[in-house]
Every structure is written in C-alpha cells, then in structure tokens.
Amino acid sequence: MKNQNGTFKDWANANVSRQIEDTVLYGYYTLYSVILFCVFFWIPFVYFYYEEKDDDDTSKCTQIKTAFKYTLGFAVICALLLLVGAFVPLNVPNNKNSTEWEKVKFLFEELGSSHGLAALSFSISSLTLIGMLAAITYTAYGMSALPLNLIKGTRSAAYERLENTEDIEEVEQHIQTIKSKSKDGRPLPSRDKRALKQFEERLRTLRKRERHLEFIENSWWTKFCGALRPLKIIWGIFFILVALLFVISLFLSNLDKALHSAGIDSGFIIFGANLSNPLNMLLPVLQTVFPLDYILITIIIMYFIFTSMAGIRNIGIWFFWVRLYKIRRGRTRPQALLFLCMILLLIVLHTSYMIYSLAPQYVMYGSQNYLIESNITYDDHKNNSALPVPKRCDADAPEDQCTVTRTYLFLHKFWFFSAAYYFGNWAFLGVFLIGLIVSCCKGKKSVIEGVDEDDSDISDDEPSVYSV
C-alpha cells in the first residue's frame, strides 16, 4: 500500500486499508482455527481410535465412543484456553472506582472490539509455547545432527558384519562354557542360569543383526547411497553453514533485545533495530521483488521441518524421562506417526515467532517506509529548510503511517508469551551448541542403527533397504 519513498499509493485510503487488514486477519482466523481443530480434535481422536484398535475384541462402535470420550477432554482444554484469552484484561478501565458490573461490561466490550483476536491469540500462543519446547528439544539438536551425520556418513556394512560375527562366536563360547557345567547332571546355580539367559538373548539379537547386515550389504540401495556420498557431503556442508547463519542471526537479534529492548514488561519489544543481522537486512530487500521473500521464507520453514524430523528420528518421542516411541522408516507405529505430526505442527507454529526473532523488521513492517521532517541547511542562503525524508518503519513510527502485520498482532498480543519466547531463544542457542559438541564427538552411525535389545519396534521380518 506504500511507495518506496514512504508515501501511500493513491488507492490506499483508510477504508481500503481496513478492508485489506480485515481480509488478512480473517484468513489467519481460518488457518489458526484449522490448527486448533487438528491439535485438539482430529489428531487426539485418531490417536485414541488406534489405541483402542490394538484390542482385538473391541468393536468399531466401541472404538469410536472411547475415542470421542477422550477427545472431549482436549475439547474442554481448547474451550478453557479460548475463554481465558477472551477475558484476560489487556487494558484496565480508566475509572478506578468502577463497580464490578462495569468491569465485567468493560471486558465484554474489549472482546467485541477485538473480534475474538485475544481469545484466538491466547490459544495459539499457548500452543506456540509448547512448540517452542519441541523446537528446543528436536530442532536445535537436529540442526547440528543432520549436517554432521551427512558429512560423516555411516559405517561399512561389511566391517560391521565382521565385528558381529566375532561377537556371535564369543557369545556362543560363553554359552558352551556355562552349559558344560551341567554335563554331569548337576543343576546350574541361579547365577549361571541368569547369565545363560542373558547370553541367549544377546545371541538372538546378534543373529538378527547378522540377517539385517547381510541383507543391507547385498542391496542395490547401499550401492546407490555409496555413489551419492560426495553429494551428501556437499549437502552436509551447506546445512551446517545455513545453521550457523541462523544461529548468528538469532544471537544478534536476542542480544539486541537484551541491550536495547523496552524490558520484560513489554515482551522485550525493540524500538528500532540497533544490531542488524544478515536475515533482517536481506528479507526487507527481497520483499521489494515479488516473490523472492516468500521463496526464502519457504526455504527457512522447510529447513526447520527437515532438521526437526532429523532430531525426532535421532532422539525419539519422549515424555520427560520415558521414551514413548521410536521413529523408524517403514516400521513406525500409527500412534508414533500421529505424535510426529503433532510435534511438527507445533514446531511449524513456533517457526512464526522464530522468523520474527531472525528478522523482526521484516515480520513487523516488511519494507515499509514513512516520511519524517529533516532540517537541511543551505550555505548559499544561510537558512534552514524542512524536507520530508523516508525512514524505515519501526516500533517508534506513528500508527497512521506504518501498518503492523497481522501475524505480529497474533504473536505479541500478550507480553508474557513474548518474554517466554525470548528466554526460549537463549535455550535454543544453548541446546544447539551442546548438540553440535555431542555430534562432533560421536562416531559414525551404524548402518542398521536401531537394531538393539530394547528396540520393541524392530521385528524379525525382512529389514528395510532404505534404512541406510
């Protein structure tokens, strides 16, 4: 709606501007409502439906009833979040001596004037807060694990098979030694019985590994991946450079907030960019050429998705110290896939704030400029003249001259969420550095990583050739 010199275009009057803002706002209402429906209704219903399906004696009708019963609890949580967000007083009545009824009436007037923005914003911000925890856990680690795993590659299947054969021979010798103690008919002591059981379990696992290694060693997919090894190294170097770019941009943005923001009570809002970072400078420039900024935003979001999936695949799905599921290609349970969808949905939701942290100028105002009066002195006439000069829009700009993006209003309706996101960014940087050190110290991954004693998701069926 504005020219590069800071003036509004001819068609951008107040009515047209309001219509465009409302259209974008209603678009966000629709998209965020779909997210709420998926998180609180659809995914829980399907999850509990599959949980009941594990029981063979359960009928379809019973499965649906039980799934609806548990989904109702999520619906109640969603309703509570909407109610709390609708009636949280962002402003206080001017009259301190107002009655309780006047205060309640003021809250309803606030709800009506915001068109439900506060209610939806509170619900989405609550989910974004959960997405922030998921991003700290999975995305931060995946940003370091994914590129380094691509660069280091996996161990040789032939070498692992040789090591596994030696382990099988060693375990068989231990079993023979223990069994030889009972050749004369004497019963084995309880200690030897426990050791024999452990060795036999270990032998079954090693023979299962042997089948997997033999299959993978002779598969065409292994040879194809070996031919792509140089390309994987190039992608790994590219991903680690992108990760460093994001980390530097996020650190500079957070440092700027720490040094120049209005404080925790404002959600660490910045009045103008004091420490510029690469992405904050690049995105407003790209916005002037449609659709370069959208292409870069899409690349950033896809990068976060890929690194998040890498983190989830390496770590698994945990509830505090209890591991719920492992993510394995072709061998993942339906419930684990639903958890994966839920986590990715919340992480992508948090990406909206992450992009703001990386490029606050772009998310707040884009490439908008506004006019300010600048005094210019002419030496010939020895007098001053005030001329309008364009300036980038920031939080200090007049409200009628710069239009704040609708997504910024959703993200920063409540200052305490913004403050939590700020501290979460520091945690994100810390986990990335820890993950980087851990990934550097770890050796190459096994070509059949995941086949171990406590892996309940691994079956004795023919292994997948795509696990390389």
* pLDDT score of 187 more than 90: no
Rg of the chain, C-alpha, whole Å:
29
* Backbone phi and psi for residue 115, each to the nearest 5 degrees, phi listed first: 55, 35
Tens of pLDDT, residues 193-230: 888 888 888 888 888 888 877 777 777 877 777 788 88
**pLDDT higher for 223 or 435?**
435
Residue 430 banded pLDDT, cuts 50, 70, 90: very high
Stretch among 168-182, 195-209, 299-313, 376-390 having the lowest mean pLDDT? 376-390
- Residue 383: predicted pLDDT: 57
CA–CA distance, 405 with 206 (Å, rounded to integer): 58
CA 57 to chain centre: 38
Three-state DSSP state, 392:
strand
Report H helices in 289-333.
Answer: 292-315
Closest CA to 462 of 330, 272, 277, 293: 330
Closest CA to 165 of 215, 211, 98, 109: 211
* Backbone phi and psi for residue 461, each to the nearest 5 degrees, phi listed first: -70, 175
Buried b (16+ CB within 10 A) or exposed e, 266-298: ebbbbeebebebebbebbbebbeeeeebeebbe
The encoded tokens of residue 118 equal 């506060």
Residue 456 banded pLDDT, cuts 50, 70, 90: very low
CA–CA distance, 124 with 410 (Å, rounded to integer): 8
Burial of 308 (0-12, 13-18, 19+ CB in 10 A): buried
Report angle CA 146, 418, 111 to the nearest 5 degrees: 130
Supply the angle between the helices 43-53 and 60-87 in degrees, to the nearest 10. 150
The type of residue at 460 is D
Q: What is the overall mean pLDDT for the chain? A: 78
CA–CA distance, 109 with 114 (Å, rounded to integer): 9
* Residue 399 CB coordination number (10 Å): 7
- What residue spans define the domains of the chain? 88-368+403-452
Predicted TM-score of the model (pTM): 0.75
* Backbone phi and psi for residue 221, each to the nearest 5 degrees, phi listed first: -65, -35
CA–CA distance, 450 with 199 (Å, rounded to integer): 20
Tens of pLDDT, residues 147-161: 888 888 777 777 788
Tens of pLDDT, residues 243-287: 998 899 889 888 888 888 777 877 777 766 677 788 888 888 888
Closest CA to 437 of 213, 169, 167, 144: 144
- Residue 431: predicted pLDDT: 92
- Residue 427: predicted pLDDT: 94
